[in-house]
Amino acid sequence: MAKIQMTTPLVEMDGDEMTRIIWKWIKEILLEPYIDLKTEYYDLGLVKRNETDDQITIDSAEATKKYGVAVKCATITPNAARMPEYNLKQMWKSPNGTIRAALDGTVFRTPILVKGITPYIPTWTKPITIARHAYGDVYKNVEMKVPQGSKTELVCTDKDGNVTKETIYDFADSAGIIQGLHNKENSIASFARACFNYALDLKQDVWFATKDTISKKYDHTFKDVFQEIFDSEYKDKFDEAGIEYFYTLIDDAVARVIRSEGGYIWACKKYDGDVMSDMVATAYGSLAMMTSVLVSPEGIYEYEAAHGTVQRHYYKYLKGEETSTNSVATIFAWSGALRKRGELDKLDDLVRFADCLEKATIQTIEDGVMTGDMYLISKLENKKKVNTEEFLREINTRLAAML
């Protein structure tokens, strides 16, 4: 069979530890035999980031803006322990944070469902995609502990020097705590557009929720910005695609989500997304089966796994011990990026390859062949635990038969 040809390069961002090992094997075993892979390669491994003073991360984000589609391996976000381990010049920032800021993007996380793993909420027969706003609120807060007797105020000085004040609280009878939050209309607007664009891509409804009844200015602005952008830019396209935008209160949303069958995008403010994405990931079974896509308001896409570099498995691998690390989310990052590249460049073969790669991966697990994490939770009767590399070879057997 002739190899599938690509026209535009895919931006390839390599990473760290166990996922870096898996990255190389996915390419060798599942991609390169079938595709004449055309990528612009950026090594975002911590060694290279340190060597280039993190310029490589910025370059990879610029390349993503240029070409429109990237695929990223998990990377180490340095902490104190990594300073001596990698002999770092500084504690470099999270590459994901840098790339997200450069693209003004929103992260969408979607679980991959397979037979044999029942979600804790059995009615969830379709995936719930969580979209998490990436800016502001409590993550960029200013807070104070104040002594008893303090009078606290919110003060705004506009560009002409006019001052507006509101009392927060008069702490006459007790010491206390206060917190200042902010968000920006342009960031909320980008978030809304990324959600609506991705919904059109997936042909799924968007749900959005805040606490606008209590927070009549702050949360209400989120509600208003979403509604204005939807009405003026997306309503017709949604009608045509047969999908809906649905707004409700956050507590009502939670109740409806639990009763739902899934199959929609749930847009969350930053804190809600932080909490709800962990709940949803756990309920669907495994972090190793969660994909993540960064989408910019202009429709630039970066695909990755939601999990990290699986450090504990990597140290076992370095000692020469056998590992059984789940590569599914990383495989789906590649299939997602290749499919998007194929759609943009009108390469039907590439789109079909991406579909087959995903089918072969799911088929392997549903045939009972899986890595240790899945083996522990799968209810299939004839299940077999395989190691990291065997799992990829098993997928390849099925992929080869499909192509």
325 binds ligand NAP per the rule CB under 6 A: yes
Q: Which does 278 bind (CB under 5 to 8 A by kind): Mg ion, ligand NAP, none?
A: Mg ion
Secondary structure of residue 92 in the 3-state scheme: coil
Choose the stretch contacting Mg ion; rule: CB under 5 A; options: 227-235, 247-255, 264-272, 273-281.
Answer: 273-281
76 binds ligand NAP per the rule CB under 6 A: yes
Nearer to Mg ion, 309 or 363 (CB): 309
Between the alpha carbon of residue 314 and those of residues 309, 317, 332, 387, the distances in Å are 8, 5, 21, 13
75 binds ligand NAP per the rule CB under 6 A: yes
Cβ-contact 133, 219 below 8 angstroms = no
**DSSP strands (E only) in 83-175:** 106-111, 128-132, 142-146, 151-157, 163-170
Nearest distance from residue 101's CB to ligand NAP, in Å? 15
Rounded to whole angstroms, how far apart are CA atoms 319 and 66?
41
Choose the stretch contacting Mg ion; rule: CB under 5 A; options: 49-57, 148-156, 275-283, 347-355.
Answer: 275-283
312 binds ligand NAP per the rule CB under 6 A: yes
274 binds Mg ion per the rule CB under 5 A: yes
Q: Which does 311 bind (CB under 5 to 8 A by kind): ligand NAP, Mg ion, none?
A: ligand NAP
Which 93-112 positions form the footprint of ligand NAP (CB under 6 A)?
96
Secondary structure of residue 171 in the 3-state scheme: coil
244 binds Mg ion per the rule CB under 5 A: no
Nearest to 73 by CA among 90, 49, 103, 55: 49
Nearer to ligand NAP, 287 or 350 (CB): 287
Nearer to ligand NAP, 329 or 347 (CB): 329
Angle separating helix axes 348-366 and 388-402, nearest 10 degrees: 130
Cβ-contact 114, 177 below 8 angstroms = no
Kindly list the residues in this chain that would bind ligand NAP in the complex (CB under 6 A): 74-77, 96, 287-288, 304, 307-312, 325-326, 373
